[in-house]
Amino acid sequence: MVADPNTRVPGRRTRNVTAVTLVVLIAVGSLWGTDDLWPFAPFKMYATASRLDGRVLKAEFVGETASGHRFRVKPGWVGLRPAEVEGQLPLTKPRRLPPGTLGDLARAWNRTHNRQIVRFELHLTGQRLSGGRPAGPLDILVETWEAES
């Protein structure tokens, strides 16, 4: 007596339909999808090229204490991810955070750390590119917050 091949393995039809559906969704997403449809479309956020002659920049904070000690403040230390900071900066000039944001971040630092800052700066740091190769460092002071005396 031979068993019916369709009933021999429970769930075979369901697994096959699921697999075919996933393959179709990925194929359609690859052709017409955007980042919003991930994982059924390519994640293109980082799949861009920089110009060969240009610059590559990232946001960086610098804090300064009353004694003049300067130190780098990672965005995570004030409750942010780097992309949240850079996403707030417009691509056109002047590249500034929304009004009051830098002061709010400085006050957040001072509430949660013993080392109090009296000056807080936002810099864009990175590299100049020439022919696709690093041609020198960049450090652009974007804006500054100073504590009220």
Tens digit of each residue's pLDDT (9 = 90 or more) over 73-82: 988 888 888 7
Residues in the chain: 149
7-11, 21-25, 83-87, 100-104: least confidently modelled range? 7-11
Tokens of 138: 């960049």
Q: How far is CA 22 from CA 18, 29, 143, in A?
A: 6, 10, 48
pLDDT of residue 121: 93
H runs (alpha helix) in the chain: 5-8, 12-32, 82-88, 101-112
Residue 92 has pLDDT above 70, yes or no: no
Residue 26 has pLDDT above 60, yes or no: yes
- Residue 142 to residue 25: CA distance in whole angstroms: 44
Tens digit of each residue's pLDDT (9 = 90 or more) over 96-131: 777 888 899 899 889 888 889 999 999 988 899 888
Task: Name the residue among 137, 136, 144, 118 with its Cα closest to residue 61.
Answer: 144
Across the beta sheet with 70-73, the strand order is 70-73, 54-64, 119-130, 133-146
